[in-house]
Structure 1
Amino acid sequence: MNSGSAPSKNTLLRTRRLIGALCWAFFLASATQAQVLVVGDSIGAGYGVPEQRNWVSLLDAELKDTRVINASISGDTSSGAKSRLPALLNHFSPKLVIIEIGGNDGLRGQPVKILKQNLTDMIAMTRDSGAKAILLGMRIPPNYGKAYTDAFHDTYHKVAQEQNVPLLPFLLEGIALNPALMQADRIHPNEKAQVKILQNVLPLVQQSLH
């Protein structure tokens, strides 16, 4: 014998209406929330830094009405990022794509023409999806030779100019030459540097979202 009384039809109806209203409200909130997609390498992934304290997570916290999705992979190259991008665009439908890639191309001494083509293709893919793109520039250590390091860094400027996309010339400006802000490998920024990276990136992101 059931010791509890069954809910009335009116109670069930009210419950269903409430659940429906909550689901609809959640859908509207999700639909109106702009999404930012970060496609990068170890600098974007926050190598050696707690996930919640890397600059992408800080950016997500700063942009109150915008969800920031971090699709960065440590060790990735521009070729790898380009191959991953179509699926990411299809899955997340972002409003803005932050392209933070190329450092590993330079550290491996890959031809800059490959980097240039990959960055150009990623911007085209992003635009074709209906999203905006911004490009974060990078530098590599001078021991790779002046001709190559200059050509590498200039590639970001050339792509940004040719494709008419916003460019942050050097993501690690004010950081890379400060030992107190770099990890022991002198390649990756440490936890203290993450706020500074956010400060470098934030104005460009805010401008691109409006």
Structure 2
Amino acid sequence: MKNYLLFIYLILFSLIIGSKAQAFNTILLLGDSVSASYRMQQHQGWVHLLNQKLATQNAPYTILNASISGETTSGGLSRLPGILAENNIDHLIIELGGNDGLRGYKPEAIKNNLLQMVKIAQEKNIPVTLMQIKITPNYGPRYNKMFEAVFKEVAAETNATLLPFFMEQVALNPELMMQDGIHPNVKAQPIIADYVAEQLKNLMK
């Protein structure tokens, strides 16, 4: 009887441990310089700060940062299959499009690249989240409107989740931005990390 109970206990224990292991998620972040610690040390960037925060909170997920400075949606599209092949990814967050917009790329081309990235992930049963991206207003209201609409359209057409512009709290504050007016400085990184952490709480429930 004792051996039988011990056997049952071991089975239950292994199931509990297994369920905890399965519950831990790796979130792939495919982004550009804003997420790649532009002009600062990696440990100062918001993604590193966010991972530290998640570890402290014993959150069941972590961020795999595959962001590269200067990355465009076409670059992200070309890299995504290889990253997914080499890593076990449970969720994909796409933070791309800013460089496309700053270079005046056609919204139709940006949308097509994003649609293909979402499709690649969803075909592997990986949920996808898009980050709404905004660019500086000097490209004119017409282009900006079409550009920002791209992300809403992709999310609607693919049932991907759309997160609000994650730099909303810092982009209009000169004290939190670099001189180029595009990249957040070191002071802004904890603010962005805290904001994204709150978004992930709802996203990963």
- TM-score band, normalised by shorter chain: 0.7 to 0.9
Q: Encode CA deviations 1:137-192: one digit per residue, 9 max, x unaligned.
A: 11111111110011111111111122222212312102111000001111100111
Under a length normalisation based on structure 1, what TM-score does the superposition of the two structures give?
A: 0.81
Contact 2:50 2:194 in 1 (8 A): no
Number of aligned positions between the proteins: 184
1:135 to 130, 146, 171: 130
2:58 matched to 1:63? no
Please, which runs of 5 or more residues in structure 2 have no aligned partner?
1-17
* Paired amino acid for 1:209: M
Shift in CA distance, 74/110, structure 1 to aligned 2, threshold 3 Å: same
Q: What RMSD, in angstroms, separates the aligned Cα atoms of the two structures? A: 1.9
Question: CA–CA distance in 2 between the matches of 1:55 and 1:84?
Answer: 22
Shift of 1:128: 1.4
Shift of 1:207: 2.5
Shift in CA distance, 160/28, structure 1 to aligned 2, threshold 3 Å: closer
1:116 to 111, 119, 129: 111
Q: Which residue number in structure 2 is paired with residue 38 of structure 1?
A: 29
Question: CA–CA distance in 2 between the matches of 1:187 and 1:137?
Answer: 15
Q: Which residue number in structure 2 is paired with residue 209 of structure 1?
A: 204
* Paired amino acid for 2:118: I
Q: Which residue number in structure 2 is paired with residue 50 of structure 1?
A: 41
Shift of 1:123: 1.0
Under a length normalisation based on structure 2, what TM-score does the superposition of the two structures give?
A: 0.83
Shift of 1:49: 2.5
Please, which runs of 5 or more residues in structure 1 have no aligned partner?
1-26
Question: CA–CA distance in 2 between the matches of 1:201 and 1:165?
Answer: 17
